[in-house]
Structure 1
Amino acid sequence: MFKRILVAVDRSELSEGVFQGALQVAKAMQAEMMILHVLSQEEPGAPEPPMILGMDYSSALSAELWQSYREQCAIFEQNQMNYLRSLVEKATEEGVRAECNLSYGSPGRVICDLARSWKADLIVVGRRGYSGLSELFLGSVSNYVLHRAPCSVLTIQGETLKKGSQPQANQVAAPPS
């Protein structure tokens, strides 16, 4: 049924469970996996651009600050890529063909766009359980994906994983008609 599974991960506690859930499905369906991480400014741990509030900074100091920021971004990006490669390696050890993708942008939009272009049958994402105002202010990647995905979506609930149990599917949504 599912032959191409796109799994979206970040570096949160939830990601390991999301990856394991996707890996279980991929093994059961003999599917291949695309492991995606979307880099964005809102991501915890992402380098922050230097704040230059006035013209008091010399151009040399300003250039130095921006150079430092670019170096921090390169290190951050390399760390994320190394993480993705380690997940590809784990999948391969389990007999699942996998590749990875590191992209920039709005996570929900990038996930849906890649699912469309890669022709994914299933997207696996985590759900932290935000609701109400938290979801409004913090956003919800899983909610965005559930409503705009070109294929079925499996969400892995964060609270389930914190209790120490196996990842469980909370919601599977069929693509919009």
Structure 2
Amino acid sequence: MFHKILVAVDRSPMGKQVFAEALSLARSVGASLVLVNILSLEEEECPNMPALMGPNAAYPGGISSSVMEIYQELWQSYAERGLRLLRSLAEEAATAGVPTEILQGIGSPGSTLCELAQTAGADLIVMGRRQHSRLNELLLGSTSNYALHHAPCSVLVVQGRPSPSPVHASEQVTSVTQEGGVLT
């Protein structure tokens, strides 16, 4: 069935859910995992300096060396957080008896994920879906949609579980104790 499963993970709750699903699948079919974290300018946590870079830079004279050093430190910290996540999940998989390797890519998430799947020889990609609004998906694209159409192997998209809706004050349940006291 599946022998090598590439798993796209990040630090979001969806990333944890994707890992759990992939680990369970790998254990049941005897597959190994390739855990992937992609460093991307599209990621919320990514340090970004678009106003300082490129032909329309806010500072036409260029970027000062101190600003560039700070940016490089922020990028290095961002990359290291991704590696720590991968190592932590790899340890968890090893504890569960699943052989695991880690990869960290840089670039557009969809195309980088597909390239890494090809390079790693994966026969399945497991990834999540962020459920962007239709407008955001139109403007930003969808990584899962890209992978479904361009991956060199099968793709399993893990859907997010809806979070329980909070109980509103008007919907609170009132309980009455045997002694006649009211609990809310």
Counterpart of 2:95 (choices 89, 93, 96) is 93
Counterpart of 1:67 (choices 47, 69, 75) is 69
Q: What TM-score does the superposition give when structure 2 sets the normalisation length?
A: 0.80
Q: What is the letter of the counterpart of residue 9 of structure 2?
A: V
Q: In the alignment, is the contact (CA less than 8 A) between 2:10 and 2:85 conserved in 1? A: no
Aligned residue number for residue 162 of structure 1: 163
Q: In the alignment, is the contact (CA less than 8 A) between 2:42 and 2:108 conserved in 1? A: no
Structure 2 gap ranges (5+): 165-184
Counterpart of 1:118 (choices 82, 95, 120) is 120
Give, in angstroms, the shift of residue 75 of structure 1: 1.2
RMSD: 1.8
Q: In the alignment, is the contact (CA less than 8 A) between 1:17 and 1:161 conserved in 2? A: no
Structure 1 gap ranges (5+): 164-177
Deviations 1:56-103 (A, max 9, x none): x7x8x8111111111111111111111110010010011100010011
Aligned residue number for residue 179 of structure 2: none
When the two structures are aligned, how many residues end up with a matched partner? Answer: 159
Aligned residue number for residue 147 of structure 2: 145
Query: Based on CA coordinates, which of the two structures has the bigger radius of gyration?
Result: 2
Is the alpha carbon distance of 1:31 and 1:20 closer, same or farther for their aligned partners in structure 2, counting shifts above 3 Å? Answer: same
3-state secondary structure, aligned to 1:123:
strand
User: Within 5 A, what are the aligned runs for 1:2-17?
Assistant: 2-17=2-17
Aligned residue number for residue 58 of structure 2: 53
Q: What TM-score does the superposition give when structure 1 sets the normalisation length?
A: 0.83
Give, in angstroms, the shift of residue 12 of structure 1: 1.6
Structure-2 separation of matches of 1:3 and 1:162: 33
Give, in angstroms, the shift of residue 131 of structure 1: 5.3
3-state secondary structure, aligned to 1:150:
coil
